[in-house]
């Protein structure tokens, strides 16, 4: 490779670039494509003047980066956080390109955000920020251009304000520009469970490939929120035992299996959606980190990034790890797990049910015809299974770890599309 490699003072962007160059080199990708894919197609920065509730005016910085659209419109969230900046959006947009590519959906990658402290904003102030962000980004977003979605500190209400603003500016309803909308406003049934359902599908496919009897498999899940709960419900539906679950209140363990449905009802009815006070036959409460060290078949970290690292990876007793959270295993942790022979299904394969669900919402919005939850789930499982098997086969074929295989397969699909489309002008 003879390209001048880009670097960045932003750690996230620098890491994203380094990971890309390393994989591209291993794949023998041609220099021209390395140059193209290491740059974003468009980096947009806007100012967002907002009248605050007390009558003063504040100006926020808003961003949207379109990393690559060789396969299809850019897809990725809009984040509200004090650390949001253009380089961070570029790094996350690049990761979305690989995630969408690996998921086999017709999207490229993008990311956006507003640098702000959401906890200090009233609902009305948030609405004004969203409407001005949308108005100023109107030239760069579109159902066939760039399709934003919720991310950290944004959700259904923000997507509705974005959609409403652009629809009014264009004098026509534009439901397919934003995904993650509430069901009555062109959202989709099935989205709530999609990520956890996809995680469980990966775990099930893994065990089937290894001829492991699902009825004999035991599962531990860190984090019992949106992703963890639906992963747990789907694992018991497949016949496995969930022996440990956890949230910020501690680890809940039962050697012969927990009553997951009871735990689900417990968090649904708890005012803060916590496991606090949960019990069932055989259940004992352990310290918070213990969930990671349970002797089990599959460990599903579904809470935070970096929880399995150089300091604790040697204590993990699970045979397999399916990464539900983004980045739960650090590179140091990964090396230790590898040495111990623990197979890891990487995050951007395992948790891609979320973005596949966004794609389903977009499909329904473009067609104006809505699916049942059964149709949604049936399609989700089919795609997740195919993707898992593709990465599995690629990793066996090249004799590399699943994480590397997933990354290389993802880059390959984008590179092929970019090569076919050629360089314009
Ligand atoms: P959530 O907020 O609904 O749930 C997080 C859970 O983790 C909660 O039960 C919380 O109590 C628990 N938790 C927090 N700190 C913990 C700790 N130290 N120990 C044990 N438990 C702890 O979040 P979510 O939507 O379920 O997302 C979980 C992870 O999955 C995040 O990394 C997120 O980025 C990733 N992810 C989510 C989606 C999605 O569609 N929701 C998609 C892709 C990736």
CA of 371 to the centre of ligand 1 (A): 27
pLDDT tens for each residue of 348-357? 999 999 999 9
Nearest atom, ligand 1, residue 327 CA: 32
Q: Which of 223, 267, 300, 304 for mutating ligand 1's site (highest number of atoms within 8 Å of CB)?
A: 223
Residue having the nearest C-alpha atom to atom 20 of ligand 1: 247
CA of 225 to the centre of ligand 1 (A): 6
In this structure, the strands spanning 57-68 and 108-115 are antiparallel
Nearest atom, ligand 1, residue 267 CA: 9
Check 5, 18, 75, 111 and give the catalytic one: 111
Q: In the prediction, which pLDDT does 425 show?
A: 54
Which two tokens mark 167?
């629809």
What's the pTM? 0.94
Verify whether residue 111 is a known catalytic residue.
yes
Q: Which of 77, 96, 154, 226 for mutating ligand 1's site (highest number of atoms within 8 Å of CB)?
A: 226
- Partnered with residue 189 across adjacent β-strands are none
pLDDT tens for each residue of 370-423? 999 999 999 999 999 999 999 999 999 999 999 999 999 999 999 999 999 998
CA angle 98, 419, 391 (to 5 degrees): 35
Q: In the prediction, which pLDDT does 424 show?
A: 72
Residues 6+ apart with CB under 8 A from 168: none
Rounded to whole angstroms, how far apart are CA atoms 117 and 97? 27
pLDDT tens for each residue of 229-273? 999 999 999 999 999 999 999 999 999 999 999 999 999 999 999
Q: In the prediction, which pLDDT does 423 show?
A: 85
Structural domains of the chain, ranges and CATH numbers in brackets: 40-174 (3.40.50.10860), 194-345 (3.40.50.720)
Nearest atom, ligand 1, residue 347 CA: 44
Binding pocket residue ranges, ligand 1, CB within 6 Å: 195, 222-228, 246-248, 288, 302-304, 324-326, 351, 354
- pLDDT > 70 fraction of the chain, expressed in percent and rounded: 100
Q: In the prediction, which pLDDT does 1 show?
A: 78
What value does the mean pLDDT take over residues 364-368? Answer: 98
Given a contact cutoff of 8 angstroms between Cβ atoms, the answer to whether 38 and 411 are in contact is no
Q: In the prediction, which pLDDT does 343 show?
A: 97
Residue 234, burial from CB neighbour count under 10 angstroms (0-12, 13-18, 19+): buried
Residue having the nearest C-alpha atom to atom 16 of ligand 1: 248
Note the helical H segments in 28-174. 31-37, 86-103, 123-137, 156-170
Q: In the prediction, which pLDDT does 390 show?
A: 95
Given a contact cutoff of 8 angstroms between Cβ atoms, the answer to whether 111 and 65 are in contact is yes
CA of 99 to the centre of ligand 1 (A): 19
CA of 307 to the centre of ligand 1 (A): 12
Helices vs. strands in the chain: H and E counts, helices first:
13, 12
pLDDT tens for each residue of 278-327? 999 999 999 999 999 999 999 999 998 899 999 999 999 999 999 999 88
Q: In the prediction, which pLDDT does 43 show?
A: 98
Mean pLDDT of the chain: 96
CA of 195 to the centre of ligand 1 (A): 11
* Banded pLDDT at 186 (limits 50, 70, 90): very high
CA of 418 to the centre of ligand 1 (A): 34
Nearest atom, ligand 1, residue 195 CA: 40
pLDDT tens for each residue of 61-108? 999 999 999 999 999 999 999 999 999 999 999 999 999 999 999 999
């Amino acid at each position: 490779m003879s390209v001048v490699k880009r670097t960045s003072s932003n750690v996230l962007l620098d890491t994203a670039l380094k990971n890309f160059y390393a994989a591209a080199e291993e794949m023998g990708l041609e220099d021209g494509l390395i140059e193209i894919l290491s740059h974003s197609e468009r980096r947009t920065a806007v100012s967002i003047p907002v009248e605050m509730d007390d009558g003063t005016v504040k100006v926020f910085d808003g961003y949207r980066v379109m990393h690559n659209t060789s396969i299809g419109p850019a897809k990725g969230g809009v984040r509200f956080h004090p650390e949001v900046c253009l380089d961070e959006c570029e790094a996350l947009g690049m990761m979305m390109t690989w995630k969408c590519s690996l998921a086999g959906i017709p999207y490229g990658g993008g990311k956006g955000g507003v640098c702000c402290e959401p906890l200090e904003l009233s609902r009305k102030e948030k609405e004004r920020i969203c409407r001005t962000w949308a108005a100023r980004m109107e030239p760069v977003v579109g159902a066939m251009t760039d399709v934003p979605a919720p991310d950290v500190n944004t959700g259904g209400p923000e997507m509705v304000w974005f959609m409403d603003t652009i629809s009014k500016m264009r004098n026509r309803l534009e439901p397919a520009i934003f995904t993650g909308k509430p069901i009555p406003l062109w959202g989709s049934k099935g989205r709530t469970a999609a990520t956890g359902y996809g995680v469980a599908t990966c775990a099930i496919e893994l065990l089937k490939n290894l001829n492991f009897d699902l009825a004999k498999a035991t599962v531990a899940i860190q984090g019992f929120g949106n992703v963890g709960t639906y992963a747990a419900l789907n694992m018991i539906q497949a016949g496995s035992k969930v022996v440990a679950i956890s949230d910020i209140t501690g680890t809940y363990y039962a050697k012969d299996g927990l009553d997951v449905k009871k735990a689900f009802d417990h968090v649904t009815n708890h005012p803060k959606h916590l496991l606090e006070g949960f019990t069932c036959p055989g259940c004992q409460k352990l310290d918070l980190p213990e969930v990671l060290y349970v002797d089990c078949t599959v460990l599903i970290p579904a809470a935070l990034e970096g929880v399995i690292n150089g300091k604790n990876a040697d204590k993990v007793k699970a045979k397999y790890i399916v990464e539900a959270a983004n980045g739960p295993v650090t590179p140091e942790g990964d090396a230790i797990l590898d040495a111990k022979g623990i197979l890891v299904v990487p995050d951007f394969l395992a948790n891609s049910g979320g973005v596949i669900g966004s794609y389903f919402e977009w499909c329904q919005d473009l067609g104006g015809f809505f699916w049942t939850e059964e149709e949604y789930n049936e399609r989700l499982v089919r795609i997740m299974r195919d993707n898992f098997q593709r990465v599995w086969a690629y990793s066996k074929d090249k004799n590399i770890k699943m994480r590397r295989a997933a990354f290389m397969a993802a880059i390959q699909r984008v590179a092929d599309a970019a090569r076919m489309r050629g360089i314009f002008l």
